[in-house]
Structure 1
């Protein structure tokens, strides 16, 4: 079997953009993947990096030896060494598509290639339910509505400011105005009161605050029984996680902006991290994600995969989650379809399968989903062929 062509799509998809790869083979088996630069800056850069990588290293090759191809790209891409969002997102999409081809050729799910599944369904927590909220009362009402649908975990961005372009804008210069600190606490208090003690609350700080602001704020949130605080400090400063952890009982989580096993190794060795959040669409794909999960085990850490891409990204994250023993919970956007400009990307988005906060592990071959060709065709960005 030889990879004969590659199609790259850049698909506007609700409040994000899906950079989608489709690899075709001369045997008629196709595989798909996603480069995880769905928000922020860099979408087109990741699409171009993906085009160059598949042209130089994938098209014309046997897709079977996935790890060999991964390391060929890593060793010869030059900028891949040391990590970085653009390179690793493109490498991730290639890895997904290669494993998808292998699993489809064998007629089995991707997770079964790695010894899965460990469970029949995956616990999820809801994100996105807070869109349009500003006041504590609005947060409380939205949280209550989501909890009544069976979700046992809710994530919000209490430091965030509503923004028409970015949806939620994180703090700049690692600070917030003193006048906003009370609002931040009141938002969290209102959510806790609305959902009761049995629903987990996850907070994402977006790496937004300096220590003099962060430590007093976390102290005020401790009584609320927070499940974890994501990126309490800039992820470029892994050593600071240990300092923060020494000042709170709230578990700290990160990983959305750590790249490859080396990025997580630095964070694990620095200490302070309780929950690892690799995004399988930007940290090197399944090949690297499995190594990260194994390293997390050595540090007695569970894995809560980060998932903020198109519906294809959700399918990818679900395959990974089903294949690791230290899985904790999977991020999901249950109301994805109501976002302006939503594009399903795949034929049967897994978000539609969630019941009472649980997502069944896909049992079909490959990633368990196929491209919705009518939905992605208008957004084809490049084609590479023999």
Structure 2
């Protein structure tokens, strides 16, 4: 999995199965992460707890990602990347399966925290692996294909889990998540080309990531840029039920519609980032601000909120752009930086959920989560513009100096 392999004529088409293997893994991770939001009512019933009490279950997973990203990145820095991906995918599978045995909120929080630990390194390692498999001008699209697993999780995985929670149990839904992860581990073992361990890889080099100002800028941009999306997404099911007055059975359909928007957004964003990184990133931010703000107007009306939910899925276009940006500024700390991107994404999850809860607790209503989300996205855009000040050509983020080792 080196640049020389690409030079020998290997193409994206020749790496279809390896990249599909990585996408199946991100599909399982995305399903496990997003399914809980739709399953909270069933979890609350089974635990004899309130939905606000169970909200900490979502936060526990996010905190697992934040804690695990730097620690596991360091622990696996000298391992073969293929070996690390297999072991961490198996970890994710086992912790999700064992979590179905929990019979209290505290126990489930514990297992969700453990399940979140490998998340950042899995996503980051998958993105680096995909980028290393293709020619330089196609790396954005390759990373976008890996992110497609996350977006398809919102088209198929999360809605299916919600249906399971409604008609079977949230426990069955998370057994399915574990099964998907086991399939991904097998596919990675079978289709990802073997790479050598990296005993000479510098742990100090990975730690130097935390000393680079640009990395902190990008992590802050990710947290604010996607935090607005979570401000709406966390409570969108309740908003549709209580404001739009849709029937309960339609919630998985709306989740799937958001997911379809994510698929389109991830594809468009990944293609645009290969052509014009700066323009693609600014465009993604503007899209976030506009669609999140429009949610406040659209929510009471079925036809308009249906359109806006599809458009809101496009807010994920910021993901591939920020992943590529981090890889560009990371230098020798590729694994750490790529993993921390997803730690920031989960901090965005926690931030968005907290801001949304504050808005609701203050009596502003579900529509106001859109205004709050748009405000968070504006702060992200301003931070991004500050981070590229003095860098007139962000296009250098895809130049040949970027190494995916």
The two structures have a TM-score, normalised by structure 1, of 0.26
Structure with higher helix content: 2
Structure with higher strand content: 1
The two structures have a TM-score, normalised by structure 2, of 0.25
